[in-house]
Amino acid sequence: MQPAPDPFVQADTHDLVLRAEPASVRAALLAVTAVSPVADLSPDLRGTVELVLAEVLNNVAEHAYADSAGHVAVTVALQPGVLWCEVVDEGAPMPGSTLPEGRLPKDDLPEGGFGWHLIRTMTRDLQYRRQRGTNRLTFIIPLQE
């Protein structure tokens, strides 16, 4: 898979491609948070970025590649006041080609269904496009504390 074209040539960017499975996701999160631009953020914001990327990448591993193995590409770029993020994979499309609403589960002791709620709470401008067999998710994480 080609890395996504970088629309922010001037920006401080970091990208990597990883296998979409839990151990590789963990390694990728450690890698992304250890270098610029994410490493330069406050510990609290680094935690937010790591959590959002964890939820997005684990969703790709668990759902898009539920029946197959594959790779996923992540790009993070520092822009004024926000971190711009893009996640691209070649797995199955989102059901109905739309993003889940991310409502919190209604049961008393839910064991799942938290992921999209966390993603939607911590991001802005969340956009999903399915094109020529690829899923492309973009969003920004505000950097004001």
Q: Where are the alpha helices (DSSP H) in the chain?
A: 22-34, 43-59, 115-122
Q: Please tell me whether residue 144 binds another protein under the rule CB under 8 A.
A: no
Q: In this structure, what DSSP letter does residue 54 have?
A: H
Q: How many CB atoms lie within 10 A of CB 87?
A: 23
**Interface stretch with another protein, choices 9-17, 58-66, 87-95, 132-140 (CB under 8 A):** 58-66
Question: How many residues line the site for another protein (CB under 8 A)?
Answer: 28
Neighbouring CB atoms inside 10 A of 71's CB total 16
Which of the residues 109 through 128 are near another protein (CB under 8 A)? 109-112, 114-115, 117-118, 121-122
State the Cα–Cα distance between residues 44 and 64, nearest whole angstrom.
Answer: 29
The candidate with the shortest Cα–Cα distance to 128, out of 136, 120, 118, 117, is 136
**Residue with smaller CB distance to another protein, 55 or 90:** 55
Residue 52 near residue 33, CB atoms below 8 Å: no
Among 55, 86, 89, 90, binds another protein (CB under 8 A): 55
Site string for another protein, 64-93 (x = CB under 8 A): ------------------------------
- Give the interface with another protein as residue ranges (CB under 8 A): 22-23, 25-26, 29, 43-44, 47-48, 50-51, 54-55, 58, 61-62, 104, 108-112, 114-115, 117-118, 121-122
